[in-house]
Chain A
Amino acid sequence: MGTLLIVLTYIAYVFIVAVYAIKVRKWLKLPVHIRWDLYPVIHEEQYRYGGSYYEKPEWWTQPRPKNTGRSLWHALKDNFYMGEYFKRNPLYWLFLLPWHLGFIFIILFHITCFFAATAMVGGVTIASDSPQLLGQIFYGILMAFAVIAFIGGTFGCIGMPVIKLADRGLRSYAMPMNYFNYFFFLIVYASGLYSWLALDPTLAEYRMYWVGLITLTPPDLNPATVFHIILFDIFLIYLPFTRSTHYITRLLAYFKIRWDDEPNFRGSMLEKQLNDLLAQKLSWDAPHILKGQSWVEAAISSGLPETKPETKKD
């Protein structure tokens, strides 16, 4: 069983990374956008009055400082407090926020488990009374992450379908698949909650499991913990097919569409991408666009019907 668990876990992690990578690659391989122009542009110095580096002379030759911190905060702030929901529907927010925190923290918990297990392999003891400070810190972080994930996730998964079914407005626009997700994720979180509360209050089994993963040594775990880990692995495999992709696509939408404003320098990668695009053939034609033209041929034509020189008849 322990071996199967290790194999399944590796498959799950490879799968989720591979599928996300394929999806991201697909999105990134789509044609680039030129500057999107929706003002104010948050990362620019002049954003407060709707300005941009276009105002500077020879702007492409000058530094174009971007405030990455401000733009990242703008793109990600909603993940952590969901202020719009709180302002408009506090009751919904009460369930929605823990539902999202469950997602974020269960993944953070497992990532931290990996580092903690690595430390354990290196001789660190992970415990509240560990002789090493690092061991105490890992213990505290792991407990905090797990508690938020299991309690928040379970609470959110129960609350979300209840409030969606109770509110006609929300019910109208929920898909059946949403309810399946709530149910499935509830089992994932609740199994973890049970395992922690009833059997493993210090979360020692997860650390053993992660040490087993790193050292390829099948761990001997309680069946309830095994059940949760199997569910979590399935959760990882299922995740790329859900709307969870928005954690990645949001960054792409901001940084690769809205804020992708690099100038097209001679010899740059961008120039190569644009040249490849311009070589594509048009899929349509009209009197002012000739069949079989490439994008570049269409771009450099006037867009008006060509006038043909008159031929004299004798």
Chain B
Amino acid sequence: MSTAKIPEPDELMQIKYAPPQTAWMETPVDFRPGTWSYGAAAKNLAALDMPNPRAWQPSDADWKLPENWRQIILDGMKERLDKYRSFRLFMDICVRCGACADKCHFYIGSGDPKNMPVLRAELIRSVYRRYFTASGRCFGKLAGARDLTVDVLKEWFYYFYQCTECRRCSVFCPYGIDQAEITMIGRELLNLVGCNINWALEPAANCFRTGNHLGIQPGGIKDMLEFLADDIEDRTGVRVEVPINKKGADILFVTPSADYFADPGTYTCMGYMMLFHEIGLNYTFSTYASEGGNFGLFTSHEMIKRLNAKIYAEAKRLGVKWILGGECGHMWRVIHQYMDTMNGPADFLEEPVSPITGTRFENAKSTKMVHITEFTADLIKNGKLKLDPSRNDHVRLTFHDSCNPARAMGLFEEPRYIIQKTCDHFYEMAEDTIREKTFCCGAGAGLGNDENLEMRMRGGMPRAMAVREVVKKHGVNRLGCICAIDRATLTTLMDYWVPGVSVMGVHELVGNALVMKSEKERSTDLRGEKIGGS
């Protein structure tokens, strides 16, 4: 746990947007406590076969880099410039118009100009100019180029781990640049010399070892799911089954481990389990594919593939027909954009068809993996669920579009459809803070740690201010989302900026509203709070 002192909200709100007196290349990075994440531990680097495992921290003067670190980075850059059309074009194309600047939650919350996406990219672009363009080689600083030094590397580390890869800036870039891609490449390059953050690498190493970020062993997973079944029985009088590693199940259900490990995700998980019980779904959890999240996305493309492989491998082992995925953010970017080509083809699975409604999920024909909100929205649309939205009357809800399902999947309507059928008090936040323009929670991409808390509160401030507006206007007391990182980190964010607002998953709403056969009279919601009015 970090001991960094976090300013009070009023103090944090005093943001200075004036740039520093010195030119940006001459302004060294300041590793101020509370604004950076701990370096990756040697054991985690070693566990993942990553280079240069050693004991170090970003605040150290000596980062214990390999002797030829510069050559390693430049070779890595060259390889990626040749491999990714996007990287080469994004290096060449930017005119520094600044349209992205005030779209970044970290710049809005910190006022640090190097958190403007344009300047964050310029950190790497200046090195690209120096070593890979004629003007940079000939004219150096006159052409905006600079040498790759240890200080530059430290600057990369600080700012590329202050970007949550949320892609909000990319929506607004008039040149079509996807700034998150530049951050991803920047992080890959840092990885080549062993510079990563522990909060990204420890979950990745755990995932590689046990299948889930938290390193939970199969027995622990079984215990926790049964504990949730106990809670469901306590609230509803209905005992739901807990199918685990069930060979021959129709569907493998994969969700982030935070859903069955930590509140408020557990209530969302209870919602899934109640739903599956009620419709009689022949499904199974897996103790191996026990994690939907993939912190490889915050490390390298190779790591994404490596960690994601278990989902198809387990689907094959268990002999299921197709895969259903829970409420998660970055998990869905990986599944929607990468899984099919990285780990596929999943030709041993069937085209997903809902066994309840008969709906064919054509959009998932190739990946064979369906998003839970698509599945549930289809059940509701076909009248397969009996719902009593009045059981959520104590909830005055607003909805945070999680970055990846929104911008990487276009999943805007399905969660809203479910919300409207399960909750009578739903209020949208301001138009430029939802759907594809949604603001990040400020803690994605591996930044949701405690030592980085000040930066999280700064980065999450724009989202929190939008929530504060609907709290004032409509008395909102609950923030819904479909992402496990959101459920974990928005809770802290709300406590800091908008106390009194708690966070929930959409399937917690479903669990509350679901009228189950042979249930007892429900007096509380899944949290054990009184239902039916505030």
Contacts and interface: CB of A to CB of B under 8 A. Distances in A.
A50 B435 contact: yes
A163 to B, nearest CB: 14
Nearest to B435: A50
B174 to A, nearest CB: 4
Given A38-B408, A299-B342, A176 B170 contact: no
A288 B407 contact: no
B410 A253 contact: no
Interface in A18-49: 27, 30-41, 49
Nearest to A241: B135
Nearest to B83: A31
B175 interface: yes
Nearest to A100: B95
Interface residues of A, number: 59
B61 interface: no
A50 B142 contact: no
A39 B360 contact: no
B71 interface: no
Interface residues of B, number: 68
A158 interface: no
A219 to B, nearest CB: 34
Contact of A303 (B82, B139, B306): B306
A176 B141 contact: yes
A108 interface: no
B309 interface: yes
Contacts of A77: 174
Interface string B102-115: 10000000000100
Interface residues of chain B: helix, strand, loop or mixed (majority): helix
Interface stretch (B17-25, B276-284, B421-429, B493-501): B17-25
A283 interface: yes
A84 B174 contact: yes
Interface stretch (B86-94, B220-228, B512-520): B86-94
A248 B407 CA distance: 26
Interface in B386-421: 406-413
Contacts of A88: 102
Contact of A250 (B175, B306, B341): B175
B313 to A, nearest CB: 6
Nearest to A243: B95
Interface string A54-65: 111111000000
B49 interface: yes
B1 interface: no
B79 interface: yes
B431 to A, nearest CB: 14
B142 A176 contact: yes
Contacts of B363: 54-55
Contacts of B308: 303
Given A39-B406, A246-B93, A304 B313 contact: yes
Interface in B331-345: 333, 336-337, 341-343
Contacts of A56: 362
A36 B342 contact: no
A117 interface: no
Nearest to B85: A30
26 contacts: A30-B84, A33-B84, A34-B341, A36-B178, A37-B408, A38-B171, A49-B413, A52-B410, A57-B362, A58-B362, A75-B176, A84-B97, A84-B172, A172-B19, A173-B119, A175-B143, A176-B141, A177-B139, A249-B89, A250-B175, A257-B178, A284-B302, A302-B313, A302-B343, A303-B342, A304-B309
Interface of A: 27, 30-41, 49-52, 54-59, 75, 77-78, 84-85, 88, 168-169, 172-173, 175-177, 180, 241, 243, 245-246, 249-250, 252-254, 256-258, 283-284, 286-289, 299, 302-304
Identify the 8 closest CB pairs spanning chains A and B, nearest first.
Answer: A50-B410, A39-B410, A253-B176, A303-B309, A30-B85, A175-B144, A249-B93, A78-B174
Interface of B: 18-20, 23-24, 49, 79, 82-86, 88-90, 92-97, 99, 102, 113, 119, 122, 134-135, 139, 141-144, 167, 170-172, 174-178, 302, 305-306, 308-310, 313, 333, 336-337, 341-343, 360, 362-363, 406-413, 435-436
Given A78-B174, A173-B24, A246-B93, 7 more contacts: A27-B88, A38-B170, A52-B410, A55-B362, A177-B139, A246-B175, A288-B49
